[in-house]
């Protein structure tokens, strides 16, 4: 488990250099007192582990830029991928403030050792042809964040999935899988989304793709407050969701997405060990006393059963996880 005595920890992403697992995570000081204030004070921390359980914190990866810059308020969630030439690329969310509220866009940094990172600048922002802009009334920000980057399975460049909102539709139901494409990881073209709005989500946070036993999966997170009125009427809590797809690069049908874990554990992600096992990680979010957790759990075994992702029952600190057969978390 990763727990910092002086800071809250939340969204995270991982990389494997063949010897160590690297955990990059958002954190902010508990001196803020209010955990809801953490988002505008976020930096990207870094820890390493040989087993995904015992983490050793090392120097931070990135901090926000100096104004004026696309990341002059905070650096938010991203992902790491290695170029064939050996260079590591970290794509991350930059936050700045505009006349209509906060504006999110994507930039990247590079590293030769996963330790020292050099910012390279902004590469993608919401395109009004397909995506909602901050000037449109009804949402609290211009969402274009949480980049997840993967190689095209047919060798046709690279794809970036982004938390975004469609330019039209019911305001509470515009969440889509934003999409960008690159031939080289350095230059990016914003593309139309890989899902349709109107499938029950105001936003799809911190997306990840994985192929488990041959089944392409899309994981994303959306709390109850950001689901659509129709999905709220259907009952159930928000949390981390999974949708099946025919191809790992989409398109994605989200209407039948199923809950993997509830709001107690958020931003669930799959990590594959070097021996091929799948593990599930998440951060502690809503606590029984109404407070915020702010730690990252020990990994939980995960597997595919009858075409469905099962996160096995296990004791995690105070938490009991029951996610077999797509059920919400049971306490």
What are 282-291's pLDDT values in tens digits? 999 999 999 9
pTM over 0.75: yes
Closest CA to 123 of 207, 39, 64, 181: 181
- The pLDDT of residue 224 is above 80: yes
Domain annotation covers residue 199: yes
Domain annotation covers residue 157: yes
- Domain that includes residue 188, residue range: 7-326
- The pLDDT of residue 329 is above 60: no
How far apart CA 213 and CA 68 sit, in angstroms, is 46
Read off φ and ψ for residue 220, nearest 5 degrees. Answer: -155, 170
Domain annotation covers residue 280: yes
Position 140 confidence tier, pLDDT thresholds 50, 70, 90: confident
- The pLDDT of residue 331 is above 60: no
Domain annotation covers residue 1: no
What are 204-218's pLDDT values in tens digits? 999 999 999 999 999
Looking up tokens 């600190």 gives: 317
Domain annotation covers residue 331: no
How far apart CA 315 and CA 320 sit, in angstroms, is 5
What are 2-26's pLDDT values in tens digits? 999 999 999 999 999 999 999 999 9
The stretch 154-176 carries a mean pLDDT of: 96
Task: Please report the pLDDT score of residue 237 as a whole number.
Answer: 80
Opening angle at CA 220, ends 211 and 39, nearest 5: 135
Task: Please report the pLDDT score of residue 312 as a whole number.
Answer: 81
306 in Cβ contact with 326 (< 8 Å): no
Domain annotation covers residue 298: yes
> The domain that contains 89 carries what CATH number?
2.115.10.20
Count of structural domains, the chain: 1
Domain annotation covers residue 187: yes
274 in Cβ contact with 264 (< 8 Å): no
- The pLDDT of residue 151 is above 60: yes
Task: Please report the pLDDT score of residue 235 as a whole number.
Answer: 67
Q: 304 is written with which tokens?
A: 């595919």
Domain annotation covers residue 27: yes
Q: For the sheet with 189-191, list strands across it.
A: 144-151, 158-165, 175-182, 189-191
Q: Name the CA radius of gyration of the chain, rounded.
A: 18
């Amino acid at each position: 488990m990763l727990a910092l005595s002086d800071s809250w920890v939340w969204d995270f992403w991982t990389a494997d250099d063949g010897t160590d697992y690297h955990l990059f995570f958002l954190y902010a000081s508990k001196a803020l007192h209010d955990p809801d204030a953490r988002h505008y004070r976020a930096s990207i921390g870094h820890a390493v582990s040989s087993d995904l359980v015992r983490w050793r914190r090392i120097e931070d990866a990135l901090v926000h830029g100096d104004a004026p810059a696309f990341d002059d308020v905070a650096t938010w969630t991203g992902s790491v991928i290695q170029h064939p030439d050996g260079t590591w690329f970290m794509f991350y969310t930059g936050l700045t403030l505009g006349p209509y509220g906060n504006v999110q866009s994507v930039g990247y940094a590079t590293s030769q050792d996963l330790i020292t990172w050099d910012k390279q600048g902004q590469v993608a922002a919401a395109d009004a042809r397909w995506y909602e802009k901050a000037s449109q009334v009804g949402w609290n920000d211009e969402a274009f964040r949480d980049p997840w980057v993967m190689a095209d399975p047919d060798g046709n460049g690279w794809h970036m999935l982004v938390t975004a909102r469609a330019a039209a539709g019911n305001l509470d139901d515009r969440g889509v899988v934003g999409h960008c494409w690159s031939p080289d990881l350095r230059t990016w073209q914003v593309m139309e989304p890989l899902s349709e709005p109107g499938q029950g989500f105001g936003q799809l946070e911190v997306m990840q793709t994985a192929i488990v036993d041959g089944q392409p999966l899309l994981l994303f997170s959306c709390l109850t407050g950001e689901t659509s009125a129709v999905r709220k009427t259907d009952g159930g809590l928000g949390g981390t969701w999974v949708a099946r797809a025919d191809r790992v690069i989409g398109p994605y049908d989200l209407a039948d997405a199923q809950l993997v874990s509830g709001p107690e554990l958020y931003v669930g992600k799959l990590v594959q060990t070097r021996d091929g096992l799948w593990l599930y990680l998440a951060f502690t979010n809503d606590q029984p006393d109404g407070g915020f957790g702010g730690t990252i759990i020990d990994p939980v075994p995960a597997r595919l059963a009858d075409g469905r992702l099962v996160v096995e029952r296990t004791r995690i600190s105070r938490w009991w996880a029951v996610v077999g057969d797509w059920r919400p978390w049971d306490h």
